Each structure stands twice: as C-alpha cells, then as structure tokens.
C-alpha cells in the first residue's frame, strides 16, 4: 500500500482514479479546487480543497501529505473551453508547480496526465499521420493551446527525468476520451451528448478518431504503472485507451469519410481495431483494459438508446 496524492481528484476522471486507487489498497489524498460531497467520497480517502496555482500551495500540500507518489490530473480539460492564453498558462503552470514541488520534496514517483490531442488531429489546416495505428512514436503536432499545454506537460516530465536520473521516477499518460461510470448509465459526456448518441452518429466520435477509455480502466492502468515504475525506463509516455473503437463500423470504412486522404492509411483498421495502439502499455506494464462499450453499454441501454445505436449501423458485433 502506498500513499498517493491525486490532483484534480474531484473531476470526471479523478473521481474514478481516486476510487480505483483506494480500492486497490492505497491511501489516497485527493486535492482539488472543488470538493466531492462527503457522502460520495470513497471510504478512507482524504480530501483537501485548494487552488494548486496559489503561491506555495502545491509544496505545502505535498509536504503535509508526504506521499509515495503523485498523480497529477488537475487542468482545464476541454480544448477551447476558456481563452487560449488561459488554458495554456493554467495547464503548463499547474503541471510545473506540481511536478517541481514533488521533485523538490523527493516524492519517489510522479505521473502526469497528457492527452492524445498532442498528435494534432482535427487541425483546421489539415492533418494526416504517417501511419495507423497511432502510437507513442507518432510525431506530436499540437495545433491549439490545450494540446500544446499537454505536450509541454510531457516535456516537463522528460526534463525532470533527465535532471534527476534514476532518483525519481516520472511518467506521462494520454487517456483517450474518458467515459465515467455514470456516462454508461446515460449521463452526458464531456462533449454534452450521451454515449448512445455518440455511437449512433459517427460524426460525434470522429473528431477524437473514435477513441475512448473507461475511467476505471485508467485507474487500473495507474495502479499498475505506479507499481511497475521502478522497473521500466524513466520519463515514458503511454496511450491509455480501450481495445476497440467507439464505432459500430470498422474504422477502415469510417475514417476516410471524416479524415480526407486517409483511405490507404486506415485500410488496416478492420474489425473493431482502434486508431490508437495501446501495445506499449500492454508490453511494458502488462496492462489490458477490461471494459468496452460493447460490454458496458449493453446492460444499461434503454429502448431509445438501442434504437439510436441500431440506426447508427449496428451495435451487435462482438469485440
Ligand atoms: N476527460 C477526457 O476525456 C480526457 C482525455 C485526455 C486527457 N484528459 C486529462 O485528464 C485530466 C483529468 O481530466 P477530467 O476529464 O477529469 O477533467 P475535469 O475538468 O473533470 O477535472 C479536472 C479537475 O481539476 C481541478 N482543477 C483545475 N484547476 C485546478 C487548480 N488550480 N487547483 C486545484 N484543482 C484544479 C478541477 O476543479 C477539476 O475537478 C486532465 O489533465 C485532462 O486534460 C482528460
């Protein structure tokens, strides 16, 4: 059991990460500007309400918590949800404040959330990758302040790993479009629509190249990463996604409709193959996502949602 401080622990992803790490036997300290109502806080989790950008706050909280590991999630998590300069300044300053404070105090393991958007898909001036599936070797080409801030968060991890050598272990991870447990039940996703609507209309999932991940699988990933960080190379970045695509048709068919010029590139994305490879996390950590929309949505689909998904082209395939 470790003491783990999670920043952004009240957020969409943070709530599942806090719960998952606590369930895995860790002592979790959740730090966020916003508090989770006490009755919804998992047993044993300590909650601290603070603005991590206030001078000295990150250092104070970490000094008091004396964690074995920090998982940094706090950020403005949606591109263009605030002015570009605000997103850039908030996210880069948060990442630097938390990672540098953890380093100063000698916290042994430091992990930060990045984003697949660092790759640059959705760029209005056009974007095509060198190949599919996308993986950690695909060159980042951020085109907005959110993606750039996440690219800098990854570079912040690399910088501290370079400076510290093996003394402190660092990693970054790129969670795909996060789906929290309540969203399987019909709550609106980060983009304001439901999952059934997202599946029924490929145009809604296409901007993220049909990626997604269950928030509880991210918690499992983090538990495994923290346990294995001592035995993998320092400063690594990982994609964390589902093993399939959030689509009812193969991406070899769908991708060219939304990503002009990708016919040949995406021709290998047959069956349920996602556009983002999770092979690195599988190979280095032995991580495997346990949930898929095919398993999670099935039990909660109401008649209306079933009709929507079926109208969207299927929903009956097996993984
Ligand atoms: N949700 C996704 O699909 C997704 C995908 C890729 C990456 N990410 C990244 O994962 C992380 C978590 O995302 P999320 O969806 O849970 O976002 P979220 O907005 O639900 O949660 C972020 C949390 O950070 C907190 N926070 C922001 N500024 C703070 C500050 N100054 N001090 C203290 N707390 C502060 C907020 O109060 C919020 O609870 C983010 O770094 C995000 O960029 C999310």
Q: How does pLDDT run across 216-230, given as a tens digit for each residue?
A: 999 999 999 999 999
CA of residue 233 relative to chain centroid, distance: 21
Q: Which residue has the higher pLDDT, 314 or 155?
A: 155
Integer Cα distance of 295 and 224 in angstroms: 22
Nearest CA to ligand 1 atom 12: 73
pLDDT of the residue at 309? 53
Q: Determine, yes or no, domain membership for 46.
A: yes
Q: For 291-309, what is the mean pLDDT?
A: 68
Q: Determine, yes or no, domain membership for 144.
A: yes
pLDDT digits (tens, 9 = 90+) for 162-220: 999 999 999 999 999 999 999 999 999 888 999 999 999 999 999 999 999 999 999 99
Atom of ligand 1 nearest to the CA of 153: 41
Integer Cα distance of 276 and 135 in angstroms: 6
Which residue do the tokens 């193969």 mark? 250
Q: Determine, yes or no, domain membership for 202.
A: no
Integer Cα distance of 221 and 16 in angstroms: 12
Q: Which domain holds residue 115?
A: 3-180+214-242+274-291
Integer Cα distance of 72 and 91 in angstroms: 11
pLDDT of the residue at 137? 98
Q: Would you say the CB of residue 297 lies under 6 angstroms from ligand 1? A: no
Q: Is the pTM of this model over 0.75?
A: yes
CA 115 – ligand 1 centroid, Å = 11
Look up residue 207 and give its two tokens: 């901007």
pLDDT digits (tens, 9 = 90+) for 120-134: 999 999 999 999 999
Over pLDDT 70: what percentage of the chain? Answer: 93
C-alpha distances (whole Å) from 151 to each of 116, 120, 177, 195, 280 are: 10, 10, 17, 28, 19
Q: Determine, yes or no, domain membership for 267.
A: no
Which of 5, 10, 47, 77 has most ligand 1 atoms within 8 Å of its beta carbon, as the pocket-test mutant? Answer: 77
Instruction: Report whether 214 contacts 291 (CB < 8 A).
Output: yes
pLDDT of the residue at 1? 75
Atom of ligand 1 nearest to the CA of 53: 31
Q: Would you say the CB of residue 79 lies under 6 angstroms from ligand 1? A: no
Integer Cα distance of 162 and 88 in angstroms: 24
Residues, the chain: 319
Integer Cα distance of 205 and 198 in angstroms: 6
Q: Determine, yes or no, domain membership for 256.
A: no
pLDDT of the residue at 9? 98
Q: Would you say the CB of residue 230 lies under 6 angstroms from ligand 1? A: no
- The CA R_g of the chain, rounded to the nearest whole Å, is 19
**66-75, 111-120, 161-170, 291-300: range with lowest mean pLDDT:** 291-300
CA 77 – ligand 1 centroid, Å = 5
**Residue 69 backbone phi and psi in degrees, to 5:** -155, 150
CATH of the domain at 77: 3.40.50.720
pLDDT digits (tens, 9 = 90+) for 136-173: 999 999 999 999 999 999 999 999 999 999 999 999 99
Q: Would you say the CB of residue 74 lies under 6 angstroms from ligand 1? A: yes
Q: Looking at the chain, which runs of residues are DSSP E strands? A: 3-7, 27-32, 46-49, 69-72, 109-113, 169-175, 178-179, 213-214, 236-240
State the alpha helices, DSSP H only, in 185-250: 195-200, 202-205, 215-228
Q: Determine, yes or no, domain membership for 188.
A: no
Q: Would you say the CB of residue 147 lies under 6 angstroms from ligand 1? A: no
Instruction: Report whether 156 contacts 93 (CB < 8 A).
Output: no
pLDDT of the residue at 299? 57
Q: Determine, yes or no, domain membership for 227.
A: yes
Q: Would you say the CB of residue 182 lies under 6 angstroms from ligand 1? A: no
Provide the domain count of the chain. Answer: 1
Residue 202 CB partners (closer than 8 Å, separation 6+): 210, 247, 249, 254, 257, 258, 312
Instruction: Report whether 16 contacts 218 (CB < 8 A).
Output: yes
Which of 6, 13, 19 has most ligand 1 atoms within 8 Å of its beta carbon, as the pocket-test mutant? Answer: 13
Q: Would you say the CB of residue 71 lies under 6 angstroms from ligand 1? A: no
Which residue do the tokens 């269950």 mark? 214
Write down the mean pLDDT value for the chain. 93
DSSP string, 223-269: HHHHHHGGGS-TTEEEEE--SS-SSSS-HHHHHHHHSTT-TTTTTT-
Q: How confident is the model at residue 46 (pLDDT cuts 50, 70, 90)?
A: very high
Atom of ligand 1 nearest to the CA of 179: 3
Q: Would you say the CB of residue 113 lies under 6 angstroms from ligand 1? A: yes
Atom of ligand 1 nearest to the CA of 117: 6
Integer Cα distance of 290 and 295 in angstroms: 9
pLDDT of the residue at 318? 27
Q: Would you say the CB of residue 91 lies under 6 angstroms from ligand 1? A: no
Burial grade of 148 (CB within 10 A; 0-12, 13-18, 19 or more): buried
Q: For 113-124, what is the mean pLDDT?
A: 98
Q: Determine, yes or no, domain membership for 194.
A: no
């Amino acid at each position: 059991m470790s003491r783990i401080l999670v920043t952004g622990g009240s957020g969409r992803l943070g709530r599942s990460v806090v719960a998952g790490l606590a369930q895995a036997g860790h002592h979790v300290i959740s730090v966020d500007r916003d508090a989770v109502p006490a009755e919804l806080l998992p047993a044993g989790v300590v909650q601290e309400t603070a603005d991590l950008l206030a001078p000295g706050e990150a250092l104070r909280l970490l000094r008091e918590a004396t964690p074995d590991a920090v998982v940094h999630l706090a950020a403005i998590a949606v591109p263009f949800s605030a002015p570009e300069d605000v997103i850039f300044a908030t996210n880069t300053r948060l990442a630097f404040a938390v990672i540098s404070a953890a380093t100063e105090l000698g916290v042994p393991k430091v992990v930060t959330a990045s984003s697949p958007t660092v790759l640059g898909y959705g760029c209005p001036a056009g974007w095509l990758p060198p190949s599919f599936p996308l993986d950690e070797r695909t060159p980042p080409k951020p085109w907005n302040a959110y993606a750039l801030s996440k690219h800098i968060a990854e570079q912040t991890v690399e910088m501290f790993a370079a400076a510290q050598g093996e003394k402190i272990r660092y990693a970054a991870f790129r969670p795909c479009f996060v789906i929290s447990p309540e969203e399987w039940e019909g709550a609106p996703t980060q983009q304001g629509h439901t999952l059934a609507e997202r599946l029924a209309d490929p145009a809604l999932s296409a901007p993220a190249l049909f990626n997604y991940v269950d928030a509880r699988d991210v918690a499992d990933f983090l538990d495994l990463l923290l346990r294995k960080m001592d035995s993998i190379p320092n400063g690594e970045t990982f994609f964390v996604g589902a093993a399939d695509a959030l689509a009812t048709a193969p991406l070899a068919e769908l991708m060219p409709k939304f990503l002009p010029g990708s016919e040949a590139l995406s021709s290998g994305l047959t069956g349920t193959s996602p556009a983002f490879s999770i092979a690195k996390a599988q190979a280095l950590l032995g991580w495997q996502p346990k949930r898929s929309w095919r398993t999670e949505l099935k039990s909660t689909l109401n008649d209306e949602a079933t009709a929507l998904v079926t109208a969207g082209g299927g929903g009956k395939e097996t993984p």
